[in-house]
A and B are shown apart, each in its own frame.
Chain A
Amino acid sequence: MLTTGTSAGMSVPGSNARSEPLIQIRDLIYQSAGIFQADNKLQLLEDRCGKRMKALGVPTLRDYYACLTVNPMHQAEMASLLNEITIGETCFFRNRPQLEAIRNIALPKIIEARSKLGQTRLRLWSAGCSTGEEPFTLAMILLEESAGRLKGWSMELLATDLNERSIAHAKAGCYGDHSTRNLDPYSRNKYFSVRGNELQATPELQASVSFSRLNLLDDSLMTFAKDVDLILCCNVLIYFDLASKNRVIRQLYRSLLPHGHLFLGQFESLFGVSEDFQLVHMPSATAYVKSNNGAARADQP
């Protein structure tokens, strides 16, 4: 398998600002987790490694790279580093270009495909929904569209997570400043009410998402998600090893309708994991669709 050319990204000769161990750690994270830290995110990565190095009492990045590779606990340390990388990221309307792509490009395609089948229903799935910010964001987008393109449609929004406590939090629908930092005034007023220092999702918003606990590796449970138009699965696969990733991706593939779209985290990639899905580009966002939009491989076991 080919990884892309130079490991130093697109930096040019003469640019030696970044240390070699940091680049090695970046590439290691990408190989094992599929999440990429571009050159303009390397400072952030260095800070996050710094936190872990402090916790471990490790003096240099070179030593820390050894912790992530040769140390007997390297897998656990990689999980800790990934936690550090994704921590606190969850908030409403987190990745605007991705949401725009869903609303303006994926949704019209889904509507067209469903309409061709004479159907006026759609089903979306937030797989690994954490404390609910992501599915509630999708719900707000769908509710806005329900007065326009989706008028008269029935919509189902599934949201699952492995963590019981996250699901309980999501069901309660109460959020603090950190989660609501990207919420525009319009959505804030329409879909939330103030409760002390927090914002409470309105009954309408809460009713539009059905939360449940689900282990993505549990094949028997996975059959519940069928005929899905769109899956959002952000920064979830990064914690799985390659074999588990393969299994999950295959399940997600089966869950999707032929026109279905899979959206991952902003810098997440399926390269080397799945050849069933094809990468597609939208303005400042990428997604995965079934090969030939599902025609060729939809029935593959």
Chain B
Amino acid sequence: MTVAAAKQILEKLQSARDLPTVPAVLLPLLRYMEQPLEQIDIHQVVNMISRDKSLAGRCLQVANSPLFGSSHEVGTIQGSVVALGLERIQQIAVSCSLIKLAPALSGGVNPAAFWAHSLGCALVSREFAVRIGYSDPAKAYAAGLLHDIGIVAMLWVAPYDFRRCFEEASQSRIPLHEAEQRVLGTSHCECGKIIATNWHLPEELTEVITGHHSPATVRGNPVLTSIVSLSDLLCRVGGLGYGYPEERQTNFAEEPAFAILAAKHPALRPFDLARFTFETESLLEEVRGTVSQIYGTH
């Protein structure tokens, strides 16, 4: 039965008819983020964000929040580029454009929780990347932000099935992807792969979306996937998951992602994970604050 359910969901996604429309600014922004900063036309980015009034409003809220911590209040997108830099504004805008993808998630997942988890994972991934000396923290940010996009895809084509998964996960207090496998025989990773391919997302991001729960299977950039995999886990144990605690004991040193990273980044061997965890908890508290502010006012 689960095989049939999985097949039906994946076929539905592949048929592309029912896929969510990608927010207008998301793909161009992701493309810009792939380019060297000096090649980007700043005005074009500012105009693109400013044209969408609700997006621009949210971006300013995030830019003025403790998360991105502009030292003085900014009132325009242009001003925020001056205060925070283009790279940060692109990260903020991509993050806020994700809200439009999940305007009314059903199936048990609260849209604010989805966005908070995505934003939290983006920030932790970026910081983790910096700490271990990964060359492209901005890419880690984008990958952390989009890693669970498959949940949106699943909800779009099979909200009832997804609700069953979510109920199973929250009742058994297990990770969502395990419940999805148990109930449907597929997971948001497989679904995410279809939607990422359909949107022509960069290959490395597609890998993260597909492989963040199985980093050892990733061939192209396993380091990026592993950074997101551990950051995702840190968010979930730090209380920024999908609204229920996963009742288990996690030893990061025994995670496959940890072994992959440790092989490539020697800085990870004597890594102070305890301190990073405390710092993450504090950051996630800020994420919760910013998210509830944004969801409270829009």
Q: Is B280's beta carbon under 8 Å from chain A?
A: yes
Which residues in A have some Cβ–Cβ distance to B below 8 Å?
Answer: 1-6, 9-17, 30, 36, 38-41, 97, 100, 104-106, 109, 267, 269-272, 278-284, 286-287, 289
B250, A2: Cβ atoms closer than 8 Å: no
- Return the chain B residue nearest A105 by Cβ: B249
Cα separation A272 to B267 with both chains bound (whole Å): 15
Q: Chain A's nearest CB lies how many Å from the CB of B84?
A: 6
> Known: A5-B130, A5-B131, A14-B84. Contact between A271 and B281, CB under 8 A?
no
- Return the chain B residue nearest A293 by Cβ: B251
Q: Which residues of A contact B274 (CB under 8 A)?
A: 36, 269-271, 279, 286
Cα separation A10 to B234 with both chains bound (whole Å): 14
Return the CB mask of B264-291 against A: 1 if under 8 Å, else 0. 0001001111111111111101100000
> Known: A2-B270, A278-B253. Contact between A283 and B279, CB under 8 A?
no
Q: Is B21's beta carbon under 8 Å from chain A?
A: no
Q: Which residues of A contact B277 (CB under 8 A)?
A: 281, 286
Q: Which of A11, A16, A109 has the most CB of B within 10 A?
A: A11
- Return the chain A residue nearest B234 by Cβ: A281
B68, A280: Cβ atoms closer than 8 Å: no
Cα separation A212 to B267 with both chains bound (whole Å): 44
Q: Is B108's beta carbon under 8 Å from chain A?
A: no
Which B residues from 82 to 124 make CB contacts under 8 A with A? 83-85, 88, 123
Cα separation A282 to B283 with both chains bound (whole Å): 18
B279, A271: Cβ atoms closer than 8 Å: no
Q: Chain B's nearest CB lies how many Å from the CB of A27?
A: 10
A17, B71: Cβ atoms closer than 8 Å: yes
B282, A40: Cβ atoms closer than 8 Å: yes
Q: Is B159's beta carbon under 8 Å from chain A?
A: no
- Return the chain B residue nearest A267 by Cβ: B278
A283, B282: Cβ atoms closer than 8 Å: no
Q: Is B252's beta carbon under 8 Å from chain A?
A: yes
B85 touches which of A13, A271, A272 (Cβ 8 Å): A13
B71, A16: Cβ atoms closer than 8 Å: yes
A14, B68: Cβ atoms closer than 8 Å: yes
Q: Which of B233, B238, B274, B275 has the most CB of A within 10 A?
A: B274
> Known: A105-B247, A281-B250. Contact between A38 and B281, CB under 8 A?
yes
Q: Is B70's beta carbon under 8 Å from chain A?
A: yes
Q: Which of A4, A9, A13, A271 has the most CB of B within 10 A?
A: A4
